[in-house]
Structure 1
């Protein structure tokens, strides 16, 4: 690794450190990110089943089931038996769920604006282009870790939804910091 590479990587880590600290100082601390992601997918899909949600989000069905239970208890979703498959339920987002999702996404946008306020629009575009270029290279380089493989160097473990060691997420979708690359998306305020 060259000195430049080390400096860039240290800057990423420092950015992650300060963005995490800032997130915890927000009126809405960074909790329940999985719930916001799940609500977004439910809102975008046509009455998905829990199995479809697990596949879309690339997380274990048991994790989806747990999150759905919390969302249902909070009144953010309803579940109705699938008429074509009595073993499955179709999931619907409620008005309260839509309101909570809008609130969470506004908090994410406001936080991203706050974090990147030190950069002009042009500088943000340059940074985005560079990060996308680095992410494209990593996407070609990084291999999926099978669930039964042990992680190297004492990392938390190969989580299907992380795609690798803790702190570096795999594909997360086209949502800025919640997308591919260093896992800064976890730092946004959530509900």
Structure 2
């Protein structure tokens, strides 16, 4: 068996390469790929709780708390207390966070196009479908 053709190895290798590429592309904007994922979610789902956000980006809550604290210090995210559960916060993009999203979105779109430039539209759709199917599998 060729271990370099195992799906886990191929996905990990691709993830590392893409993460490094996106990190370089986002560095001038002082945003990490993980922070970009939070910005994207909060743009679509304003008022998300830290717990919901952790589930959406598949990270543990402790990691998300640290990420949010960093983004609050940068002025990208604001927290408001959940009156029903004082231990919980609702998260919102600030004006600066919204502006960063508008500024960085074309960069992310161009990077996506660059990464998928060797694939046809059908192959991109097939890859999205297969990766979502793998992600949805219980293991």
Mapping of 1:38-187 within 5 angstroms?
Answer: 38-117=38-117, 119=118, 124-132=120-128, 134-135=130-131, 138=134, 143-144=138-139
**Relative to structure 1, is the Cα distance of residues 47 and 106 closer, same or farther in structure 2, using a 3 angstrom cutoff?**
same
In the alignment, the residues of structure 2 paired with residue 81 and residue 89 of structure 1 have an alpha-carbon distance, to the nearest angstrom, of: 4
CA displacement 1:14-73 (0-9 Å, x = unmatched): 977876776576584796111111121122224122122112222111011001001100
User: Could you tell me how far apart the structure 1 residues matched to 2:38 and 2:13 are?
Assistant: 29
CA distance in 2, matches of 1:16, 1:54: 19
Paired with 1:25 and 1:46, the residues of 2 have a C-alpha distance of: 27
Report which of the two has the higher share of helix: 2
Q: Which has the larger radius of gyration?
A: 1
> Gapped runs of 5+ residues in structure 1?
145-191
Q: Count matched residues.
A: 134
| Root-mean-square deviation over aligned CA pairs | 3.7
Unaligned runs of 5+ in 2: none
Instruction: State the alpha-carbon separation in 2 of the partners of residues 41 and 27 from structure 1.
Output: 17
